[in-house]
């Protein structure tokens, strides 16, 4: 397919999105990520029955926490696609990149820099 998508995205492979926990998302922000998105299978077609539903719930919880601590829940997003939808994968990457650019850098990263200076 050779689709292009932004190069500033780091892909972390997991056996199922059900493996993604809230702490993984939060730690990404602590370490300076500007945004995190989780790409799972379509709801209803999880091989492990409810992995992608768990992931969605955890993404929602992470959003709520990030809103409360001033990082912004909008920096986290859940996407779903089926295995044959490579074009969607590229589209989500572009969409997320644009969204995060709009939001600007992760404020935690900036605060760390300011405190170190």
Partner 1 sequence: MIVADKKPIEEIIEVIKDHDKILVLGCNECVTVCEAGGKKEVEILASALRMYFLNNGKEMVIDEHTLERQCDHEYLEEVRDRIDQYDAVLSLACGVGVQFMAEKYHSTPIYPGVNTCFLGATEQRGLWTERCQACGECMLATTGGICPVSRCAKRILNGPCGGSSNGKCELGKEVDCAWHLIVERLKALGRLDDYEKVCSIKDWSTDRAGGPRKVIREDVQV
The residues binding partner 1 (CB under 8 A) are 21-23, 26-27, 29-30, 65, 68-71, 107-108, 111-112, 114-115
Q: Answer for the pair 51, 14: CB distance below 8 angstroms, yes or no.
A: no
Nearer to partner 1, 42 or 69 (CB): 69
Rounded to a whole number of angstroms, the minimum distance from the CB of residue 44 to partner 1 is 19
Q: Which residues contact 106 (CB under 8 A, 6 or more apart)?
A: 29, 32, 33, 34, 35, 71, 75
State which residue, 86 or 104, has the beta carbon closest to partner 1: 104
């Amino acid at each position: 397919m050779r689709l292009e998508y932004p190069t500033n995205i780091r892909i972390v492979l997991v056996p199922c999105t059900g493996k993604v926990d809230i702490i993984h998302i939060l730690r990404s922000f602590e370490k300076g990520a500007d945004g995190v998105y989780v790409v799972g299978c379509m709801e209803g077609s999880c091989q492990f029955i409810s992995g992608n539903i768990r992931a969605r719930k955890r993404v929602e919880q992470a959003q709520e926490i990030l809103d409360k601590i001033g990082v912004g829940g909008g920096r986290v997003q859940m996407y779903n696609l089926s295995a044959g939808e490579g074009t969607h994968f590229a589209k989500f990457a572009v969409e997320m990149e644009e969204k995060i650019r709009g939001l600007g850098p992760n404020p935690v990263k900036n605060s760390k820099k300011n405190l170190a200076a």
